[in-house]
Amino acid sequence: MYKTVIIMICVSALLAAANLLLKTAVIHFKTGVQLSSALQFISDYKFWTSILFTGMAMILWLYVLSYEQISTVYPLISISYVFMTFASYYLYDEKITSNKIIGMGLICFGIYFLFKETMKL
């Protein structure tokens, strides 16, 4: 089960990184969606890297699904919210509010409860 948790953390990190890259790539749409901005977007390496990261996450996810129950491992994807919150704070100066901290705590607490028996925590 430890292997599964490590893989799922990688899945969550890849998904978070893919979305951060997309956030950076959509700068081309600041002036509105036009053909030229759409072409700039799809020619941006950040767009293609985000697709690569999403594909890598999907391959790892399919691997995990081949030997684990989906109801057991799906909640682990929620850890990507924690990664995203901290990355957004450092990269985009987004605020981390007390509600976000409480939410992240609940996510981590929930994951702990889901896996404490399985992993003997």
Residue 110 falls inside a structural domain: yes
Q: Does the pLDDT value for residue 31 go beyond 80?
A: no
Q: Does the pLDDT value for residue 51 go beyond 80?
A: yes
Q: Does the pLDDT value for residue 43 go beyond 90?
A: no
Residue 38: which domain range? 2-115
Average pLDDT over residues 86-99: 92
Residues 84 and 16: beta-carbon distance below 8 Å: yes
Residue 120 falls inside a structural domain: no
Within 10 A of 48 (CB to CB), how many other CB atoms are there? 13
pTM (predicted TM-score): 0.81
Residue 26 falls inside a structural domain: yes
**C-alpha separations of 18 from 10, 40, 59, 79 in Å:** 12, 18, 14, 15
Within 10 A of 76 (CB to CB), how many other CB atoms are there? 20
Residue with tokens 């941006």: 44
Helix axes 2-25, 45-65, angle to 10 degrees: 160
Residue 81 falls inside a structural domain: yes
Counting the structural domains of the chain, the total is 1
Residue 67 falls inside a structural domain: yes
